[in-house]
């Protein structure tokens, strides 16, 4: 077994990836996270190695190597080579520090909920909202400083009836993101969604709420991507005032739809405190 510190660039990363024949499926989100950290110069040599078997098989490190290629940079990596291939099954079995662990270390109550909310906001920032993945650990403190309202919003959400049928992190993350752009409309939409008070028959808020409650009652699990797509469609309909008769998203098959684009631009500011939908009427 040989250990070395190596500055790996895209060319060498491609060489190592030629031996990537037994790893788990690649996560695009994980690659994007690492690539962003590398491009920003925040990547640190932390003792986690790129592990290569004696026959050239890549045993650990595929996401880091793909990130190097995507980022187009050279980074220092610890490389452990000439490892027996049969040790592959023992890799990745330790307990890793999670985003919620970091949130707790920063003094957040309800750290799991707060970490989920911050991860949702991070996905917004990265343009990867449809993916279910946590924010990088080294971004938690920065996200918390950028969204200081996250702990209080999360606590209020967790104390409401919505926690019985919907993700606290997704709800809180969407609310924080959209309330900074459309404060009045976000207050309307998420207030009704959270409490069930003030709902109007046929409204997109009611359609989404009933859909999520039906999923919970039926013990049917929707994929994260479909849930987020439905929430985006409900929000867009609420914002435009064009209410659909049904709320659905077809993710696969011959009638598959593209993932919806969230309407989250800056609000019109010439009439403070007045709903965009009312101004457009």
pLDDT for the residue numbered 272: 34
CA distance 5 to 65: 15
Helices 168-179/111-126 angle, 10° precision: 50
Q: What is the pLDDT of residues 48-85, one digit of tens each?
A: 899 999 889 998 899 999 999 999 999 999 999 988 87
pLDDT band for position 131 (50/70/90)?
A: confident
pLDDT at 86 > cutoff 90: no
Helix or strand (DSSP H, E) at 225: helix 224-240
pLDDT for the residue numbered 126: 87
pLDDT at 205 > cutoff 70: yes
Q: Looking at 106-223, list the stretches that DSSP marks H as alpha helix, in order from N- to C-terminal side.
A: 111-126, 140-146, 150-158, 168-179, 183-195, 204-217
On average, the pLDDT of the chain sits at: 86
| Span 182-205, average pLDDT | 94
To the nearest whole percent, how much of the chain has pLDDT over 70? 90
Q: Looking at 45-148, list the stretches that DSSP marks H as alpha helix, in order from N- to C-terminal side.
A: 62-71, 99-105, 111-126, 140-146
CA distance 137 to 126: 15
CA distance 12 to 74: 10
* Domain definitions of the chain by residue range: 2-85, 99-280
The dihedral over CA atoms of 182, 183, 185, 190, expressed in degrees to the nearest 10, equals: 120
Higher pLDDT, 221 or 112: 112
CA distance 219 to 29: 28
């Amino acid at each position: 077994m040989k250990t070395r510190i190596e500055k790996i660039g895209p060319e060498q990363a491609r060489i190592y990836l030629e031996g990537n024949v037994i790893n788990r499926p690649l996560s695009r989100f994980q690659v994007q996270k690492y690539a962003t950290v590398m491009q920003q110069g925040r990547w640190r040599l932390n003792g986690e190695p790129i592990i290569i078997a004696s026959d050239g098989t890549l045993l650990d490190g595929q996401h880091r190597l793909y990130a190097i290629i995507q980022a187009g940079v050279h980074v220092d990596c610890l490389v452990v080579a000439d490892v027996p291939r049969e040790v592959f099954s023992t890799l990745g079995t330790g307990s890793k520090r999670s985003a919620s662990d970091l949130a707790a270390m920063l003094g957040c109550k309800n750290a799991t909920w707060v970490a989920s909310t911050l991860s949702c906001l991070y996905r917004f920032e990265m343009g990867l909202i449809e993916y279910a993945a946590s924010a990088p650990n080294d971004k938690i403190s920065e996200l918390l400083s950028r969204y200081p309202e996250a702990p209080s919003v999360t606590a209020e959400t967790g104390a409401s009836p919505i926690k019985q049928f919907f993700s606290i992190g997704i709800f809180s993350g969407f609310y924080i993101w959209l309330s900074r752009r459309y404060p009045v409309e976000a207050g309307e939409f998420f207030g009704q969604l959270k409490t069930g008070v003030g709902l109007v028959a046929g409204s997109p808020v009611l359609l989404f709420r009933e859909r999520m409650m039906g999923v919970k009652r039926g013990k049917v699990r929707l994929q994260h991507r479909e849930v987020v797509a439905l929430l985006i469609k409900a929000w867009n309909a609420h914002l435009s005032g064009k209410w659909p008769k049904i709320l659905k998203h077809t993710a696969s098959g011959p009638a598959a739809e593209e993932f919806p684009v969230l309407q989250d631009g800056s609000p019109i500011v010439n009439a403070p405190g007045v709903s965009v939908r009312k101004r457009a009427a």
